[in-house]
Structure 1
């Protein structure tokens, strides 16, 4: 694509929600606007409206029919009316590629509209490791497939994708949509392997990109306490409560004058987090921050922590941390992008592992300084230039598939 392409980027998720998929959508739309005319389509929010005020970006808000209580998830069913509206706007903007970031009704309607117009469709998968610790596996297994069929019109994928039936049903929603696009994008290599094993023939790895951080400076010395930052949704899948307990243990071992922990985020476990840290001088909860405030939080820290195991495919917090020239203490050995160089391993679910690593680093922060230095080169994988080279190559492949077959051929 030597001229400006015309791309529609679509998500069922609202940008008002705290989450990696939402931030990936936002930052990829911004990156794409450097080389393409971008139509950003998702449920309305002020953040979407702000995107639409950027050069070369038009925002289209699609109101939700229903918002799932407790989750804040906007439900946009696939209807004939929505499909017609999308077909009209895709034709008006002469869109060449539809790029999905979700797997529900809005994505399904976009696929149908694109097929009617002969437009290539790609999907970035963020959700192939969906799981829940809630005791509702049977309910999810029974209710997940008919729910997804109701909002999308897609037949469920009948394949076992996880040990627990409910987790498998959640991931089958993603697979049911991914089977209907021309090409699937995975932000990480390990998720791409799992997608191929599930039967998807065309899967390309395109790491997430984040906004540049031109003021980032590496950590060259640490005077005073080691400052550790945890960013994310305060939820079980992020293992926030085990992290807080590990952090409390570590601060108790070395003292608040040698280790300070800052937690940024909100979510269903925030009340428990506040109770656990109440009265402890070495740990602070900042609540949810505006995305524009995250670089300052990263600058205050020496290193960040990713405590999830088996949930994330490529966390945006990793990309943001390394772009800010901050190393990442991480617990999931399946994650590799950027972390192979700028990561500090703390593998294992035992409290001895992460708490022990925090104690070691507070006592001798040399690995923190080394990880920050390594981030100078490691951040290239998350740069806009790297993303644009990879994603435009994926678009060309998808367009060739659409032109040759006229039907999705991602499934083997």
Structure 2
């Protein structure tokens, strides 16, 4: 098969969806399929060499560090893309893994060429936009207006679910990376049924990481690790407030970058054994997770899957989980933060208590163990096999 991926961001840029799509491409190619990746061209110092699998669309940078960019979904982009695709094998299926301009461009391409679409929903659009702006209602209304112009006939509505419903209207199948997100998509009539296909971990990197890990963990303080984008929806700052309030004698490593780093460093200034590692490569990040006694996941209601606790579980590292949906999806091998009301102070206090419990359990040698079936089901090879079966079902249908 020749599968064409559409993304909002170039796969060389930072982000969980980009990591997942890179793995999907690699394992599809290992299985003998051809993958073309259509995404906005990168700008700035991280813009890399041309990859023959990529179609880099004309774009404009949209962040100060020029890490992220956008391509305008319109006739000029359509023409550029159609010209670029004439030099490639005939396309069998379009796989849209984008929620904004990449989604519009992908669905427009599929519609022009009469191709079936599989759409993977990566984004809780309503929660994400509400987390970063108090003007989320007018922003969502504007996004829906843009969607209707870019995708005529994709439906009405002005909220986040209407936006996703409009994107899914052109799809033959919709997938979600978790059971809880699939359930919400169905409950809001985005699509039915929604297939659950987890994002996965690289089989080879996982095996190498486990092989390189020490047989017995070193003695000393409990070691916590937090990783992700340093932005409000990830709740790094409340976590650090909880860590300070917990008073635990533990090591903490924070991996990632973002606009909140300076504020985060200020909260833990003077606290011993806290280290900011910055952005690390995928193998380096997995090695740090495997070396930790516990991973801490702190966003609530935002994640469509929450990759990091699954990566931790498949490496044998338990997690402190703030999001009850993610805790239920994992099924075990974790400390669940008790549900608190919407008051952030109560949530911080609950997380502080859970961190104290986790540190005590680790020190006593009674930390929970992740479920073995999670490790098996999270391997990328098994996820790719599931997606290929879905592609074949759509093509047969």
Whether contact under 8 Å (1:264, 1:287) holds in the other structure is yes
Q: What are the superposed Cα offsets for residues 103-146 of structure 1, whole Å, 9 maximum, x if unpaired? A: 32333222222233332211110113542233213432443323
- Aligned counterpart, 1:179: 169
SS in 1 for 2:8: coil
Deviation at 1:227, TM superposition (A): 0.3
Q: Contact 1:126 / 1:313 at 8 angstroms: preserved in 2?
A: yes
1:370–1:390: structure 2 CA closer, same or farther, 3 Å change rule?
A: farther
Counterpart among 245, 257, 263 of residue 241 in structure 2: 245
CA–CA distance in structure 1, aligned partners of residues 11 and 269 of structure 2: 31
Map 1:52-201 → 2, pairs under 5 A: 52=51, 58-67=53-62, 73-90=68-85, 92-128=88-124, 130-131=126-127, 132-133=130-131, 134-150=133-149, 152-154=150-152, 157-159=155-157, 169-199=159-189, 200-201=191-192
For structure 1, which segment, 133-142 or 271-280, has the greater mean C-alpha deviation from structure 2 after superposition? 133-142
Match of 1:388 among 381, 384, 389: 384
Equivalent residue, structure 2, for 1:298:
289
Distance 2:389 2:328 in 1: 19
Tell me whether 1:317 sits opposite 2:301 in the alignment: no
Structure 2: distance between partners of 1:389 and 1:268? 38
Partner of residue 343, structure 2? none
- Give SS of 1:351's match: helix
Instruction: Please give the per-residue CA displacement for 1:302-352, whole angstroms capped at 9, x wherever unaligned.
Output: 210111110001122223222322122111111257621333212324223
1:205 lines up with 2:216 in the alignment: no
Q: Which has the higher contact order (CA 8 A, sep 6+)?
A: 1
Tell me the equivalent position of 1:11: 7
Residue number in structure 2 paired with 1:410: none
Q: Unpaired runs of 5+ in structure 1?
A: 160-167, 402-412
Q: Number of aligned pairs?
A: 378
Distance 2:364 2:304 in 1: 25
**Secondary structure at 1:313 match in 2:** coil
The question of 1:22 aligning with 2:18 is answered yes
- Deviation string 1:241-265 (CA, Å, 9 cap, x unpaired) is 1101111122x2x33xxx1111111
Assess if the C-alpha contact under 8 Å between 2:182 and 2:194 holds in 1: yes
Residues 57 and 81 of structure 2 are in contact (CA less than 8 Å); yes or no, is this contact kept in structure 1? no
Task: Give the Cα–Cα distance (whole angstroms) in 2 for the partners of residues 368 and 243 of structure 1.
Answer: 24
Give me the TM-score of the superposition, normalised by structure 1.
0.82
Structure 2 unmatched runs, 5+ = 341-346
Write the distance in 1 (CA, Å) between the matches of 2:293 and 2:173.
39
Q: Secondary structure at 2:62's aligned position in 1?
A: strand
Tell me what 1:351 maps to: 348
Partner SS state of residue 242, structure 2 = helix
Q: Which of 363, 372, 378 pairs up with 2:374?
A: 378
In the TM superposition, 1:389-404 aligns within 5 A as: 389-401=385-397
Kindly indicate whether the alpha-carbon contact (under 8 Å) linking 2:327 and 2:336 is maintained by their aligned counterparts in 1: no
For residues 172 and 101 of structure 2, the distance between their equivalents in structure 1, rounded to whole angstroms, comes to 18
Q: Distance in 1 between matches of 2:55 and 2:300?
A: 35
The answer to whether structure 1 residue 360 and structure 2 residue 351 are counterparts is no
Whole-angstrom distance in 1 between the partners of 2:66 and 2:119: 23
Q: Deviations 1:173-219 (Å, cap 9, x if unpaired)?
A: 33321221111110111111111122212421101112231131588
Q: Equivalent residue of 2:258, what SS?
A: coil
Q: Distance in 2 between matches of 1:368 and 1:395?
A: 45
In structure 1, the residue corresponding to 2:243 is in which secondary structure?
A: helix
- Larger mean CA deviation between 187-196 and 350-359 belongs to 350-359
CA distance in 1, matches of 2:364, 2:110: 49
Does residue 267 of the first structure (1) align with residue 258 of the second (2)?
Answer: yes
User: Could you say what secondary structure the match of 1:275 adopts?
Assistant: helix
1:406 maps to none
What's the secondary structure of 2:72's corresponding residue?
coil
- Over the aligned positions, Cα root-mean-square deviation in angstroms equals 2.8
Equivalent pair of 1:264/1:285 in contact (CA under 8 Å) = yes
1:11 shift after superposition: 0.3
Aligned counterparts of 1:400 and 1:93: Cα–Cα separation in 2? 20
